[in-house]
Amino acid sequence: MFKWFTFFLFYVGMISAVGASDLSKTLPHPSLSPLDVVKIVMNALRQNDVPKKNQGIAITYNFASPANKKVTGPLGRFVTMVSGPVYGDMLDHRGAEYENVLVNGDRARIDVVIRLAAGRFVGFRFFLTKQRRNKFDGSWMTDSVMPIEVVSS
């Protein structure tokens, strides 16, 4: 009985530790680099409806800068925008490659090329800033994302 109880406590401790580490990957934090942020966003969008509908878009919204949210928010409007024709390919994509990572002071630009189910590739350019003088001080957040042309080889 003691072994089972010990195992149970170990198991509960592992679940708590996993839950705590996942939290840092759904919200801005100063320990995350610009590339970390873009990877978190793209992984969230890749599994958009896990564990619940539009969870990936909600995580993406968490990483939108306050300036971005003034234009794209609230969350319901952001969901409609990301699900629409310009950004909809980001949802449930098959994989992403990160290119042309440029960090200059408190600004960053990262290109992402994603593979779609149909075998096509599409690209997006992320623009991020390190937040200053707000509640996200020191955290990288997305200011904007724009589609870019992907050249096939």
Joined tokens for residue 98: 């990160």
Read off the pLDDT of residues 78-116 as tens digits, 9 standing for 90 and up: 999 999 999 999 999 999 999 999 999 999 999 999 999
Domain 37-148: give its CATH code.
Answer: 3.10.450.50
Say how many CA atoms lie within 13 Å of 135 toward its Cβ.
5
**pTM (2 decimals)?**
0.83
Q: Which residues pair with 124 in a beta bridge?
A: 112, 147
